[in-house]
Chains A and B, each alone.
Chain A
């Protein structure tokens, strides 16, 4: 019955044809060959912007806020990526702070502890050498003191475990105390730009002469 009704009702649609908007014989709208334009022309023009003293003032405020926020310490700039060679002028050009400093002092009690960046203040270059000189003999002196202490301990003790332990603990404590100083010392050295004698400059001569080939006929890759 369904098949037979197909023959009878061939010209009937399932919906009301008038609702389509065009009759039987009308031509269909032209087919589109391209996607609709990205910026179709506007039918209605937009309303002009508000003007007035209030609007102008808020506009000026906005521009001012934007400009001043660039100068605040909250504007974080990533450290400039190293170019091909490190140049002498880099020392004088970096206005940007190093990564491990924070330019404003927040209330650290309101922030989680893990966000606190331990700021190791780099010594100012003018007074750096003096302080370094001061500290080097200090460190040396403390090393000597510690060594002396250890020697006296060794002399005094009668191989008792407690004294050995004490000595070890003292050593450890002293070592711990020493290490940060020593670290600081090395850091200062690296930060210290007065001299050109950087640690990595030292060339121990291993590479020299190792590449020399007696046979110069072979190509060097």
Chain B
């Protein structure tokens, strides 16, 4: 785990689960595997707090446990799963995908399971039905069967999977009679044959509407009742979790389709979408390309509202194969032509496009030209770079040296003589795509960490003013709703003092120009957000402006996460193929 990843994991744990879990989590990440006692000793927390934190982490699948080095008789060791923690950044995207595919019901199911880590089917169904009923108009309620059907669809398409069962350690061998097997070890979820099998539950009813007059105690009672009821439904012990891999495959497919649509046109995008949909079940997760599909099959499987003739489809397929992006490849001639989608190559090309856009946005289009040249031609001397890029020597030199100092370009020495004399050595500039992608990924992690920290700082600094302005707005809104007089309204508005208001106005003007600059941390600028924010914040920021800032920072986090996903997929695909 790199330092930036550890920092980001710590910030995410702190946001969602509090300081205690963050402390425990970061210690586990830094030290690898630890036993409970060692962890308590290192974090200097009370043992009960450490136990609670570990329960939370295991519940959410972020921590695994297993027999330690001393075998099943020894203490249990805990091992943290960093990728799972980093997936927390992407929760909104998962929920939005579920919404777009399966509607509000699917969205709420995925949201509940994500927030609680693991849930049984019956408890999920009940909670989701209650939530949906709450949002429905008076008198209607959500039937459990609809929620069950949405759940089943999610499981059939593998978006949800069963939590792996615990394989109990052999206790007969240890001979310790006083304690039952203390160590149960989880196995890989996919290895379980019933991974996607729905349990038979007897669940019928409607969602219960929560009256607004009930207070929290009633909810707690209801919640406790729900928990005890689940044991009657027949699916005890079968917990479901979100299958992140499946979501990632879906995002990858979306990225490829949108790239094809942007580069060629909508119809080509649809053709590629059809091909990917047909090969969803037959292709394994890290395959380099999909199963070969014949043009006849593709023609039959196209959606009916796309009335393209067969020869036109053939032309589109030929275009796709000839495109330099190499999304689609031809694998044979039978059945009108066998076509595959080159998944790994598509990912590599998307990553390359990301790198090129980063260089373009940070250093200008001429530096980007040099970068693309080096990507294509692999190794070039300085003189050759100047010639091929058609840039005057002095500027080309400067740009090359800037790129070199940022580690985006590397220098390769090829000596002519054994004594490596500088006058008799070739110095070649080169770009390696994979290490550069890794570098950029670390920059992205650092960016998101900076964004989170800045947002926390902003909200903390201006908590007082934020709350005050929100209260005033609420009062104003309620007064207007009840039809108050103008005098009352002005009185309330005057609660914001004049100097505050003046600063608000001036800074709102300032921020509308500067905020775009500051928060445009899309793919390029790791630490520049913070830099520009301090540059622009000459006057101390005020409530509404910092609120805007916080919103923009939030939005930036989501968008940097898209780049993170792309680069991570590319790097994982290269590792898989090795």
Binding site for B on A (CB under 8 A): 13-16, 19, 21, 38-40, 42-50, 54-55, 57-59, 61-63, 65-66, 68-69, 72, 74-79, 99-100, 102, 105-107, 109-115, 117
Binding site for A on B (CB under 8 A): 15-21, 36, 45-46, 48-49, 51-56, 58-60, 65, 75-76, 91-93, 95-96, 111, 115-118, 163, 166, 179-180, 182-184, 186, 227, 237, 239, 361-364, 382, 394, 397, 421-423, 516-517, 519-525, 528, 530-532, 534-535, 551-552, 554-559
Q: Which residues of A contact B422 (CB under 8 A)?
A: 14-15
New contact pairs (7) apart from A55-B558, A76-B20, A76-B56, CB-CB < 8 Å? A14-B422, A46-B519, A46-B522, A49-B522, A61-B95, A110-B163, A113-B179
- Closest chain-A Cβ to B494's Cβ sits at a distance in Å of 30
Q: Which residue of B is nearest A98, CB measured?
A: B48
Q: Which residues of B contact A46 (CB under 8 A)?
A: 361, 517, 519-522, 524-525, 528
A92 to B423, CA, bound (A): 82
A91 to B556, CA, bound (A): 44
Given contacts A39-B534, A46-B525, A61-B96, are A110 and B166 in contact (CB under 8 A)? yes
A15 to B91, CA, bound (A): 56
Q: A76 and B49: CB pair below 8 A?
A: yes
Q: Can you list 17 A-B pairs, Cβ within 8 angstroms, ordered by A? A: A19-B382, A39-B532, A42-B525, A42-B531, A44-B362, A45-B517, A68-B115, A75-B16, A78-B49, A99-B48, A100-B48, A107-B118, A110-B163, A112-B65, A113-B179, A113-B182, A115-B36
Q: Which residues of B contact A115 (CB under 8 A)?
A: 36, 51, 54-55, 58
Q: Which residues of B contact A66 (CB under 8 A)?
A: 15-16
A156 to B202, CA, bound (A): 61
Q: A102 and B520: CB pair below 8 A?
A: no
A14 to B423, CA, bound (A): 5
Q: Which 4 pairs show the lowest CB-CB distances between chains A and B?
A: A46-B520, A39-B531, A61-B92, A15-B422
Q: Chain A: interface secondary structure?
A: loop
Q: Which residues of A contact B115 (CB under 8 A)?
A: 65, 68-69, 72
A99 to B184, CA, bound (A): 26
Given contacts A105-B227, A115-B54, are A110 and B96 in contact (CB under 8 A)? no
- Closest chain-B Cβ to A74's Cβ sits at a distance in Å of 5
Q: A111 and B16: CB pair below 8 A?
A: no
Given contacts A15-B422, A102-B55, A114-B182, are A49 and B534 in contact (CB under 8 A)? no
Q: Which residue of A is nearest B19, CB measured?
A: A78
A170 to B96, CA, bound (A): 65
Identify which of B48, B59, B554 contacts A117 (C-beta below 8 A). B48
- Closest chain-A Cβ to B92's Cβ sits at a distance in Å of 4
Q: Which residues of B contact A59 (CB under 8 A)?
A: 92, 551, 554-555, 558
Q: A62 and B558: CB pair below 8 A?
A: yes
Q: Which residues of A contact B92 (CB under 8 A)?
A: 58-59, 61-62, 65
Q: Which residues of B contact A49 (CB under 8 A)?
A: 516, 519-520, 522, 552, 555-556, 559
A72 to B60, CA, bound (A): 13
Q: Which residues of B contact A15 (CB under 8 A)?
A: 422-423
Q: Which residues of A contact B20 (CB under 8 A)?
A: 76-78
- Closest chain-A Cβ to B402's Cβ sits at a distance in Å of 10
Q: Which residues of B contact A65 (CB under 8 A)?
A: 91-92, 111, 115
Q: A58 and B17: CB pair below 8 A?
A: no
A102 to B52, CA, bound (A): 7
Q: Which residue of B is nearest A12, CB measured?
A: B423
Q: A114 and B49: CB pair below 8 A?
A: no
Q: Which residues of A contact B555 (CB under 8 A)?
A: 49-50, 55, 59
- Closest chain-A Cβ to B128's Cβ sits at a distance in Å of 15
A40 to B557, CA, bound (A): 23
Q: Which residues of B contact A106 (CB under 8 A)?
A: 55, 59
A58 to B51, CA, bound (A): 33
Identify which of B46, B76, B522 contacts A47 (C-beta below 8 A). B522
Given contacts A74-B17, A113-B179, are A45 and B520 in contact (CB under 8 A)? yes
Q: B52 and A76: CB pair below 8 A?
A: yes
Q: B364 and A44: CB pair below 8 A?
A: yes
Q: B520 and A110: CB pair below 8 A?
A: no
A69 to B112, CA, bound (A): 11
Identify which of A68, A69, A99 contacts B17 (C-beta below 8 A). A69
- Closest chain-B Cβ to A193's Cβ sits at a distance in Å of 21
- Closest chain-B Cβ to A142's Cβ sits at a distance in Å of 26
Q: B17 and A75: CB pair below 8 A?
A: yes
Q: B532 and A47: CB pair below 8 A?
A: no
Q: Which residues of B contact A113 (CB under 8 A)?
A: 179-180, 182
A106 to B5, CA, bound (A): 29
Q: A76 and B53: CB pair below 8 A?
A: yes
Q: Which residue of A is nearest B76, CB measured?
A: A112
A101 to B166, CA, bound (A): 25
Q: Which residues of B contact A43 (CB under 8 A)?
A: 363-364
Q: A58 and B96: CB pair below 8 A?
A: yes
Q: Which residues of A contact B184 (CB under 8 A)?
A: 109-110, 112
A8 to B69, CA, bound (A): 70
Q: Which residue of A is nearest B528, CB measured?
A: A42
- Closest chain-B Cβ to A100's Cβ sits at a distance in Å of 5
- Closest chain-A Cβ to B282's Cβ sits at a distance in Å of 30
Identify which of A38, A75, A111, A114 contacts B18 (C-beta below 8 A). A75
Q: Which residues of A contact B54 (CB under 8 A)?
A: 115
Q: Which residues of B contact A74 (CB under 8 A)?
A: 16-17, 21, 56, 59-60, 116-117
Q: Which residue of A is nearest B53, CB measured?
A: A76
Q: Which residues of A contact B517 (CB under 8 A)?
A: 42, 45-46
- Closest chain-B Cβ to A114's Cβ sits at a distance in Å of 6
Q: Which residues of A contact B558 (CB under 8 A)?
A: 55, 58-59, 62
Q: Which residues of B contact A57 (CB under 8 A)?
A: 96
Q: B96 and A54: CB pair below 8 A?
A: yes
A118 to B559, CA, bound (A): 45
Q: Which residue of A is nearest B114, CB measured?
A: A65
A65 to B421, CA, bound (A): 61
Q: Which residues of B contact A50 (CB under 8 A)?
A: 522, 555, 559
A41 to B76, CA, bound (A): 53
Q: B182 and A112: CB pair below 8 A?
A: yes
- Closest chain-B Cβ to A117's Cβ sits at a distance in Å of 6
Q: Which residues of B contact A69 (CB under 8 A)?
A: 15-17, 115
Q: Which residues of B contact A42 (CB under 8 A)?
A: 517, 525, 528, 531-532
A48 to B517, CA, bound (A): 7
- Closest chain-B Cβ to A21's Cβ sits at a distance in Å of 5
Q: Which residues of A contact B554 (CB under 8 A)?
A: 59, 62-63
Q: A99 and B49: CB pair below 8 A?
A: yes
A179 to B500, CA, bound (A): 66
Q: Which residues of B contact A19 (CB under 8 A)?
A: 382
Q: Which residues of A contact B91 (CB under 8 A)?
A: 61-62, 65
A75 to B60, CA, bound (A): 12
Q: Which residues of B contact A78 (CB under 8 A)?
A: 19-20, 45, 49
Q: Which residues of A contact B182 (CB under 8 A)?
A: 112-114
Q: Which residue of B is nearest A38, CB measured?
A: B531
